Amino acid sequence: MDLRKVQKFGKSTLMISLPAEWVKSVNLKPGTSVYIDVDEDGGLKVYPPTYNPQGTKHEIQINISENTDPDLLERVVRSFYVLGFDRIVIKNEGGIIPNEAMRKLREVSRSLIGLEMIANDLQNVEIRSYIDPTKHNFNVILGQLVNTLKLMVDYLSHGLKSGSRKFIEEILELEKEADRLYFLGLRQLILAQTNKSLAYIIGVPSVQIIGNRIIIKSLEEVADEISEAANMLLGLPPEGLNYLKDFYPTFLSVKEKMDTLLNQIVKLRGDWNYRTANELMEELRVLRKSLMLELENLQAQLINDHRRNKYGPKIVGFMLRFYSAIRNLEPIAEIAMNRSLENLKEVDLK
């Protein structure tokens, strides 16, 4: 490491000279602008004008055959997207790319933000990412994901109230959008892990990358649980959906508490406050307890009501999905508490 002395220039300006070899290697001239980045550890980085905060482009080729598992191909392409690859080439040198493999490639291209599939010929397919990582702030992605969850809960509420399958079916489409946001957020975090300047641009301190991966995964799992709850309702006949209208007041109470929890998470996103984190923990604890009591009451009533005996297991299963969704929010509350305290010199709990 090079040690240099700080010089005073004028009344208040402090200066250091730049290493001559570095100046020559990046072709700096007097008057040239440079990028300056303050690191989390107090360090200072200087980048030449040719610096690209998006990082280098990553390309990969996937060789397949007639025997390649289409599901495996889909998962590999999705993983390369998450890992930050910008160009993925799929080749079958032994013949035409199978129809099922093409179908999976189209599906994965449409299911991920910023991807476009280009069929060069019968043996070659190219998938390109047109995402500029500097344009996608991670906290904005988290906010969009939370709003998607709130919409899913709203549609579920309307579906129960009206007995309409259309409202419930919309939840399945929203779950796809939640997945798209999850994979985009995960891609951003992985890119930020290897590019500290990008991490700074998208609002992700490198020390928080692991915690942010847990947060975004927890939200994605909440979306999965709500989607599974919707699928349970869609498996009922019209009579069953109409019967569940009687269950709406109970669910409305749960829905209002869920809205409060999601609003608290949005609030915490920009202000890691330990009192707000504590409120979130308490609300999670209370909601878990009330849901378990409701489940016990429902199970007790199954014995006395023929119709409840017929559809009661579906209600219980539905409520258990929401219980799991709420449990998935607990890691977020724990991370929020830790972040709110990690840099404090003292804590006033008076």
Per-residue model confidence as pLDDT tens digits over 6-24: 888 887 888 888 888 878 8
247-264 pLDDT, tens per residue?
Answer: 788 788 888 888 888 888
Query: What does the alpha-carbon distance between residue 276 and residue 272 come to, in Å, rounded to a whole number?
Result: 8
The predicted model scores a pTM of 0.82
Percent composition of the chain: helix, strand, coil (DSSP 3-state, to 5): 65, 10, 25
| CATH architecture label of 59-129 | 2-Layer Sandwich (3.30)
Res 334: pLDDT: 92
292-317 pLDDT, tens per residue?
Answer: 887 777 777 666 665 556 777 777 88
Residue 240, classed as helix, strand or coil, is: helix
Query: What does the alpha-carbon distance between residue 184 and residue 255 come to, in Å, rounded to a whole number?
Result: 27
26-50 pLDDT, tens per residue?
Answer: 788 888 888 777 766 677 878 777 6
pLDDT band for 156, please (50, 70, 90 cuts): very high
Residue in the structure block whose two tokens are 């799992």 = 221
- State the average pLDDT over residues 183-207: 87
Structural domain boundaries of the chain?
59-129, 135-340
311-340 pLDDT, tens per residue?
Answer: 777 778 888 888 899 899 999 989 989 988
Superfamily of domain 135-340: Phosphate transport system protein phou homolog 2; domain 2 (1.20.58.220)
Query: What does the alpha-carbon distance between residue 5 and residue 106 come to, in Å, rounded to a whole number?
Result: 58
Residues 175 and 152: beta-carbon distance below 8 Å: yes
Residues 112 and 81: beta-carbon distance below 8 Å: yes
Res 55: pLDDT: 57
The mean pLDDT of the chain is 86
- State the average pLDDT over residues 105-115: 95
Res 308: pLDDT: 56
Query: What does the alpha-carbon distance between residue 101 and residue 122 come to, in Å, rounded to a whole number?
Result: 12
Provide the residue count of the chain.
Answer: 350
